[in-house]
Structure formats: C-alpha cells, structure tokens
C-alpha cells in the first residue's frame, strides 16, 4: 500500500498561515510554544513542548540563511527606493546611502532568530511530517492511523 502523506498543516489541525505566523513570532511552528530559540543565534534540536525535530534534514539552515538574505535585501531596497523618491528632485546620495546602511547592517542580525523559526515553518509546509519528527499527541490527523477505509461493496 502506498505511503499516504498529508500536508503538515492538516496533520496538526492548523492553517498554513498559522505555522508561518508562529515562526515569525519566534514560536515553535508546530505547537506555538516559545522556548525553541537558544541565545540570539542558536536554536534547540527539538521543541521542549512538542518534541518537533527542528533540523529536519542535513543542511536545513541554508534555507534560513537564504530567507534572511531575501528579507534584508528587500528591506534595504525599499529604504533606498523610498528615500530616493522622497528626495526628488533634490537627490543627495549620501543621506540615502546612510539610510540604507541601517537595514543592510542591522537587518541580518535582528532577523536571525526569526529567520530560523520561520524557515522551520516554511519547511513544514513544503515537506509533510514523518513519524518520529514530533510527539504523536500533537498530531490531529495521522495519515497512518486515520486512513480512510474502503467502502464495502
């Protein structure tokens, strides 16, 4: 019998946006509890509440670094664009560059914890949970346990 896979949000009984919101708020995307962040740049191996395995595959954190780069680049670009548009017609480059340094320099550091937990949420949306990744008590719909039965003819 083929292995049934359900999206993580369906398995946990939440909306996909809930997973992402929890990640942005530095919570465990699966259970919503705090405590997965260990220091500013660290994260635990497993959630202390639901036992979610945080690093789901080898190299998992490359995605969080990429997410951090995209968010900080976008913020820097928006600051540059806004500052330039606000200074038209008398554009002075030095104040615009100084304004752009703030999100470019501080953004990656400030968003580091959020990029990690948000990436866990995005990864959960892309790849469904598998057995052993989370405490089974937190799974509302288990593809193995709650398999639909075939109707009898």
Q: What is the mean pLDDT of residues 96-112?
A: 92
Q: How many residues can be counted in the chain?
A: 153
Omega within 30 of 0 (cis) for the link into 81: no
pLDDT per residue over 122-150, tens digit each? 999 999 998 888 998 988 887 666 665 55
Query: Is 144 within the bounds of a domain?
Result: no
Query: Is 69 within the bounds of a domain?
Result: yes
- Domain span holding position 26: 8-134
Residue 85 has pLDDT above 80, yes or no: yes
Q: What is the mean pLDDT of residues 83-100?
A: 89
Overall pTM > 0.95: no
Question: Can you tell me whether residue 98 is helix, strand or coil?
Answer: helix
Query: Is 46 within the bounds of a domain?
Result: yes
pLDDT per residue over 29-80, tens digit each? 999 999 999 888 888 999 999 999 988 888 888 999 999 999 999 999 999 9
pLDDT value for 147? 61
The dihedral of CA 103, 105, 108, 109: what is its sign? negative
Cβ atoms of residues 40 and 50 within 8 Å: no
Query: Is 43 within the bounds of a domain?
Result: yes
Query: How does the average pLDDT of the chain come out, rounded?
Result: 88
- Alpha carbon distance 75, 83 (integer Å): 12
Total domains, the chain: 1
């Amino acid at each position: 019998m083929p292995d049934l896979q359900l999206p993580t949000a369906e398995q946990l009984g939440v909306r996909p946006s809930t997973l992402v919101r929890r990640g942005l708020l530095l919570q465990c995307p699966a259970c919503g509890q705090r405590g997965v962040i260990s220091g500013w740049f660290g994260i635990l191996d497993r959630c202390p509440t639901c036992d979610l395995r945080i690093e789901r595959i080898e190299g998992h954190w490359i995605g969080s670094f990429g997410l951090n780069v995209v968010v900080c680049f976008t913020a820097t670009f928006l600051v540059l664009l806004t500052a330039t548009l606000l200074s038209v017609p008398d554009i002075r480059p030095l104040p615009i560059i100084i304004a752009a340094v703030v999100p470019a320099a501080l953004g990656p550091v400030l968003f580091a914890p959020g990029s990690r937990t948000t990436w866990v949420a995005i990864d959960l949306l892309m790849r469904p949970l598998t057995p052993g990744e989370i405490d089974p008590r937190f799974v509302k719909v288990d593809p193995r346990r709650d398999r639909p039965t075939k109707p009898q003819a």
